[in-house]
Amino acid sequence: MNTPRIAIVGAGISGICLGVALRQAGFTDFVLFEKAHDYGGTWRDNSYPGLVCDVPSRYYQFTFARNPAWTRLYSAGPEIKDYLVRVAHEHRLPARTRFGTEVTGAEFEGTGWRVSTSDGKTERFDFLMCATGFLHHPNRPDIAGLDEFGGTLMHSSRWRHDVELTGKRVGVIGTGSTGTQLVSALAGAVPEVVLFQRTPQWILPTVNRAYTPVAKTLYRLAPALGVLPYSGNRAAFAVFSQGLVHPGRVRRLIQWVVERNLRSVKDPELRRKLTPDYQAMCKRLVVSDRFYQAVQRPDVTLETDGIDHVEKRGVVTVSGRLHELDILVLATGFDSQAFMRPMAITGAGGRTLDRAWAQGPRAFEGVMMPDFPNLFMLVGPHSPFANHPLTAVAEAQSARIVGWLRRWRAGEFATVAPTHAATDRYNARMRAAAPSTVWTTGCTSWYLGKDGLPALWPWTPGRYEKLIRSAPDPVDYDLGQRAESRTEPVESPSRPVDSAASPPEP
């Protein structure tokens, strides 16, 4: 029986999920490449004050590794990162992980991939799995004079913990989830916070309650109880997703909830500044139990005038007002169209990824591309990642990938890639469905591609999971010749594991 050699790029949520799925299915000849020195992906990179997941803890977890020890309804970033590290160690992934090794390129050769890494080495693999995520390349705004700022300048995903906040005046550029969380955490902790708002956000209210000692004890003693909140949250998100993709009662209900929440802002002028001119959920919905209280504090300023430039002392708006600051934080998001780039990937016939995606990222069922045989993506283009837990998406896509690997191991094919015709039909159906989604109702967001249509799954996440867990239709794929036994010696992927990745205390 042939054993495929597999390269996984990225040790965040999807890379960990796939690594566990491979082990559980008996595929042990894989290397998990991670350019950093720990697991966690976005939950490793982001560590800013106030970081909290906007999906409930007991839904934002793997079904094969339910955590009975969550401390709150919505978990803080460090707790999620610790959970991911623990899952990786419990499933023996460190022995297959190479930390501090960045994949710089990959080229398809014959029936497999020649992978190049930052240490100058190349290795051959039968399959290439890109688990790089889509929000990991920080977006730096094009603002004149940013480099002239005399204080501390940092992106929210590159938080500098060596910088003392006490007594500092802090400016925050950006009002998405990150910006609202930062302001909520900094308000009252520093003398002054200035939030530079280009576009206001709708805020969905919540109560981030802590689990009582009794509740935590019950979940620990009876782990099966964790199935109930997972199933309950899944059902609630299924209803919520109807509002994302169809006009109707759910969309109207959410609009009513966020408008009612906005009325908690007492000052009419401030409330006017915080009122969006688009429908709720057109942009990623912000979930917060603290932002409106924070922004009404006397030590918090909401600046809605555009930024003209940055100078040594601070930020100057188009009205000429200077906000003197000690720290300036760019909560300006990420390049959501990068995915596995800047990796230089060359598929069959010399076709490059940049060429294939010249008009924007494009995939078949979110996991494959024509002309790139034996390459799979997790949480790739058009995946359902709008206010939906990526853990669930990664599990469903990992199951599809394992299914293909089993067929390869059985000798059914040597290479697989979707046909151009199937990919064209798939993308055409998504474009046709896009106008009914809330993302096309009149706002700009990182959800939109170059054609102005949402670059993500336009139906419910449940429908996607049903599709991706079903048997692939043979007519949609080009299958290469039957695989033959590989004779190339296998190098050991093991390297000493960085001490920072040691498992946390349970």
The CATH architecture one would assign to domain 6-137+335-501 is 3-Layer(bba) Sandwich (3.50)
Would you say 83 and 67 are in contact if contact means Cβ atoms under 8 Å apart?
Answer: yes
- The residue to which tokens 């069959």 are assigned: 348
Cα 158 to its chain centre, rounded Å, is 16
Q: H or E element: which one contains 147?
A: none
Closest of 449, 450, 456 to residue 433, by C-alpha: 456
CA distance 423 to 410: 26
Is the Cα torsion angle 377, 345, 336, 330 positive or negative in sign? Answer: positive
Give, for all 506 residues of the chain, the pLDDT tens digit: 689 999 999 999 999 999 999 999 999 999 999 999 999 999 999 999 999 999 999 999 999 999 999 999 999 999 999 999 999 999 999 999 999 999 999 999 999 999 999 999 999 999 999 999 877 789 999 999 999 999 999 999 999 999 999 999 999 999 999 999 999 999 999 999 999 999 999 999 999 999 999 999 999 999 888 999 999 999 999 999 999 999 999 999 999 999 999 999 999 999 999 999 999 999 999 999 999 999 999 999 999 999 999 999 999 999 999 999 999 999 998 877 778 989 999 999 999 999 999 988 999 999 999 999 999 999 999 988 777 899 999 999 999 999 999 999 999 999 999 999 999 999 999 999 999 999 999 998 888 887 888 888 999 999 999 999 999 999 999 999 764 544 343 343 333 333 333 333 22
CA atoms within 13 A on the CB side of 472: 24
Closest of 383, 388, 374 to residue 454, by C-alpha: 383
CA distance 34 to 101: 6
| Domain segments of the chain as ranges | 6-137+335-501, 146-330
Closest of 443, 450, 170, 176 to residue 332, by C-alpha: 176
Closest of 454, 371, 386 to residue 416, by C-alpha: 371
Which fold does the domain 146-330 belong to in CATH?
FAD/NAD(P)-binding domain (3.50.50)
Prediction pTM value: 0.92
Fold match between domain 6-137+335-501 and domain 146-330: yes
Considering all CA atoms of the chain, what is the largest pairwise distance in Å, rounded to the nearest integer? 73
CA distance 407 to 1: 11
Reported as a single tens digit per residue, the pLDDT across 82-135 is 999 999 999 999 999 999 999 999 999 999 999 999 999 999 999 999 999 877
How would DSSP label each residue in 56-116? -TTTSS-TTS--TT--BSS-BHHHHHHHHHHHHHHTT-GGGEEET--EEEEEEETTEEEEE
